[in-house]
Structure 1
Amino acid sequence: MRVDDSLRRGSPRRDGRESARSGTTAPRGYRGTRDVSSVSAPRILVIEDDPSVISVVEFVLDMAGFDAVFAGDGGTGVASARQTRPAVILLDLGIPVLDGYGVCAALAEDPATAAIPIVLMTGTAESASSERLAKFPIRDVIVKPFSPKDLLARVQILVGSGG
């Protein structure tokens, strides 16, 4: 599991625990012991800047055996998508540097990333229903706060169907 250095500056949880691998905070009781580096696990790129959301997503993906890559801003996220070619991208619309709309546009312009399925993670479903998003490969929208089971089910469907 890899994490962009910009995430390491996130605010710690009240209890002060941090995930050993990523610098993000882990949910209570999470040990972060699964090592997916030696297996061919589907790669999921998470472009999100909220440490609490990152913590939950990291836990869910790690426990399910996915190879999760994290980026804390849109610019880093686009670069990571081009470099790592993930099976699915989980994207927050309200991220710094380059917002979610800009990320979608940049990925759509590059033939190497244009077909990667995107799951939007947003505070309101209305923000994801914009005509600006209609031309991008957005396969799903998940409204925060979301159920970890719901997130996992949506990712597994996309990975299982090949996007």
Structure 2
Amino acid sequence: MMNAEKPKGYRPNVGIVVFNADGKVWLGHRYGMTGDHSWQFPQGGIDEGEDLEAAARRELVEETGIRSVDIVARTADWVYYDFPPEVLAQGKIGKNYLGQKQVWFAMRFTGQDDEVDLHAHHEQEFSRWEWCDIDRVIDRVVHFKRDSYRKVIAEFRHIIKA
């Protein structure tokens, strides 16, 4: 059950962890960003009235082109993270929000790697991608998302061996 008592001011969002048959996870490098900490899982906003699973599938297709997935799990509750002051000051992301609250979905990729199309949507999110060991993810994401990623990885770690 989702906890309705969490603070206001957080943008509702979905996140997706895609596992391949080898237990590695899909990780994308943010388009237009530089540096070693510009990698992340697909994620995105929920449209007004949109079902969470539908939002996760839509965001996955828009950001990666991936359609061949089976949902195997989702987080039990919202996972929150705050935007740091330097991000809020830029006014690009986080406008009118303190951070994001996310429901995360674990999905098993059932297609072939050539299904990935980073140009599937008019707004390109990622410049490149790779299959990554889940234990290497935290050191590659931006600092303010690390705690939320730790929670998600802990909740989905059992899927690696599934």
**What TM-score results when the alignment is normalised by the length of structure 2?**
0.25
Instruction: Indicate the structure whose relative CO is greater, using CA pairs within 8 Å and at least 6 residues apart.
Output: 2
Higher strand share: 2
Bigger helix share: 1
